[in-house]
Structure 1
Amino acid sequence: MIAAAAAEKKARDIVLMKMVDLTPATDYFVVCSAGSTTQVRAIADSIEEKLQEDEGIGFMHKEGYREGEWVLMDYGDCVAHIFLQDSREYYSLETLWGDAELTAYED
């Protein structure tokens, strides 16, 4: 649902990272990119609205919304990471968590 909500706002390079057995903090990361801080916030808003309205699921924690360079939304079993493209390349979560199984999201 997170990946689909991000795709609705034209998020780029959406990847699901299976974090089971790599960290006790969560089971999955959903990582995506945006071209502007406005789009980063729009993607975060879309995820929040879809999960809350359609499923009654609220996030546990959200960081970075004001700055709009990297928004992290913690839903417990899944953590969404919405990056400006430059920030995504800099932090490189896919490399940092290189043992994670990656699946590209296809909408």
Structure 2
Amino acid sequence: MKKLITSFITLGILVAISYAISFFTDANFIDFTFFVGLCVSSAMWFFNSKGGFSSRSTALSMQSTTGMKVEAEKFTFNPSVAFITSVSFTVLSLVATFIYYRNYFI
């Protein structure tokens, strides 16, 4: 039940952000859904992963400052329900965008 609520909250936030951007720019809702989903998914991946570029950069700067060797952290990422919902929203919005603008692609 908790996963379902998290999924609906994430979906609501994605739709609200897309709607707000389309409202303030006076554009179609479908125009921003893919980019909002992509940005939110990327941000979730960046902030929920461990041992990536930023961790290595911090470890190198500590080594250069203190001279102490820091063990490298192995890259790990555990996708959450919110991340999976965001990626699903991104994929579905990409498909919907192609369907909506199919006349431009032909």
Do both proteins adopt the same fold according to a TM-score greater than 0.5, normalized to the shorter chain? no
Q: Which is helix-richer, 1 or 2?
A: 2
Q: What is the TM-score of this pair, normalised by structure 1?
A: 0.25
Q: Which is strand-richer, 1 or 2?
A: 1
Structure index of larger Rg: 2
Q: What is the TM-score of this pair, normalised by structure 2?
A: 0.26
